[in-house]
Amino acid sequence: MLPALAYNMMNKLKENFEKIHLNIGEVYITQEPLVIWTILGSCISVVFYNKRLQTGGICHAQLPEKRRHHESCMKTCPVKCSGKGVDSERFKFVTCSTQYMLEQFNLFGIQNEEIEVKLFGGANVFQTNGNVKTVGSQNLEAAMNFIQKHDLNLVSKYIGGKRGITIYFHSHTGKVFLKKHLNSPVT
């Protein structure tokens, strides 16, 4: 639970701007001041922010990558994932949604080294046996590989655990507030 002062500040900040709910498989990129919120369990959100242009982007990805005929998405991207073809589910995948966000930021004239990245989610909300990789850990691995491959600046993260979170992304400042789900796991 957030301390009362932090909670009151978060609510005050949220009240001043339009609020957008981000669903699974969605990406939102904007230069308008908004509060974009989403609920995460094993899914992850990757947040991009550029201070110079006050541009923010966020995704809510459910799975690490799309696979076609035993070939990973990263071997076929950006053609299959970037929106050049019609695929209504492409943003469900970490690799596709982050690739799309990076392309859009680059189109604004934002260089990779100017992008601040924050990473959230990837909890282990389902019981697993032994050494099985959880969906959450696979999502986090895909995101970290993407961040490293493109030399992006990871400035903060709140990842893993066994409980879900709700995050509130302020698109014009890059700030992210989070609320931990303490009473019951997300299913």
Could you tell me which of 181, 179, 140 has the C-alpha nearest to residue 35?
179
Q: Average pLDDT for residues 9-37, to the nearest whole number? A: 84
Could you tell me which of 183, 160, 158 has the C-alpha nearest to residue 169?
158
User: Does residue 187 fall inside a structural domain?
Assistant: no
Count of structural domains within the chain: 1
Helix (H) or strand (E) run with residue 14 in it: helix 4-15
Q: Average pLDDT for residues 97-126, to the nearest whole number? A: 96
Using CA atoms, how far apart are residues 163 and 183, in angstroms rounded to an integer? 9
User: Does residue 185 fall inside a structural domain?
Assistant: no
Q: Is residue 165 scored above 50 in pLDDT?
A: yes
For the whole model, what pTM was predicted?
0.81
pLDDT of residue 89: 86
Which of residues 121 and 7 earns the better pLDDT score? 121
pLDDT of residue 46: 98
Structure tokens that stand for 15 in this block = 């009240």
User: Does residue 170 fall inside a structural domain?
Assistant: yes
17-21, 57-61, 87-91: which has the highest mean pLDDT? Answer: 57-61
Using CA atoms, how far apart are residues 51 and 94, in angstroms rounded to an integer? 23
Q: Is residue 67 scored above 50 in pLDDT?
A: yes
Exposure of 113 by Cβ count < 10 A (0-12 exposed, 13-18 middle, 19+ buried)?
Answer: exposed
Beta strands 67-68 and 71-72, pairing class = antiparallel
CATH number at residue 66: 3.30.1330.200
User: Does residue 101 fall inside a structural domain?
Assistant: yes
User: Does residue 77 fall inside a structural domain?
Assistant: yes
Q: Name the residue range of residue 22's domain.
A: 4-180
